[in-house]
Amino acid sequence: MRTILLAAAAALLAAAPPIAAKSVPAATITAADRAEIQSVIRRWEAAWQAHDPAAWAALFHDDATWVLWTGAEWHGRAAIAAGIAGPFRTVYANSTQLSKLVEIRPIARDAAVVRSLTTLTGDTRQPGATIYGNKILVMTRRNGKWGILYGQNTRLTDAEAANLRSAP
């Protein structure tokens, strides 16, 4: 009986058409995508230099999450704007943050991980210091427009910053 069942199963499998692999669009970033993502980074800098919480938060999707270098989290565009408003009025009131785009890695259609190295000057808690960071953003395109879905800023250690400054 067992032999008959195995033979029947084998016959059914042999007769079944092969299962076609589902076609998944390749994750690619076009020149236009790259330009728009770079524009988001430039608008980030402009909003930061203007100390404008609404303009900075507008770069994020409504349901975005921002994780501070301290580990605190802000969920949603309104919380992101409210969260940065105080620092823009106080410790970052005269600060400048610049970003050097390092990598755009597509991870799915309309999604990419974007990494940039940052410098922050003018933080009143560290007068005269340049603070080096590594910004990691998950950006997605919604309704034809790229925005930040998730992001985190990390600070580089003194040793990592020294390596960065000495790199060619």
Bigger pLDDT: 96 or 159? 96
pLDDT digit string (tens) for 41-56? 999 999 999 999 999 9
Q: What is the pLDDT of residues 47-90, one digit of tens each?
A: 999 999 999 999 999 999 999 988 999 999 999 999 999 999 99
Query: 167: pLDDT confidence band, cut at 50, 70 and 90?
Result: low
160 or 45, greater pLDDT: 45
Is the pLDDT at 6 greater than 80, yes or no?
no
pLDDT band at 150 (very low <50, low <70, confident <90, very high): very high
Q: Measured between alpha carbons, how far is 98 from 94 in angstroms, rounded to an integer?
A: 13
Residues of the chain with pLDDT > 90, as a percent, come to 72
Q: What is the CA radius of gyration of the chain?
A: 24
The confidence band for 28, taking pLDDT boundaries of 50, 70 and 90, is confident
pLDDT score of 26 more than 80: no
Find all residues with CB under 8 Å of 88, minimum gap 6, and list them. 51, 52, 53, 56
pLDDT for the residue numbered 160 = 86
DSSP state of 29: -
The answer as to CATH 3.10.450.50 being correct for domain 28-166 is: yes
Section 124-131 average pLDDT: 94
In this prediction, residue 10 carries a pLDDT of 40
Distance of alpha carbon 82 from alpha carbon 74, whole angstroms: 9
pTM over 0.85: no
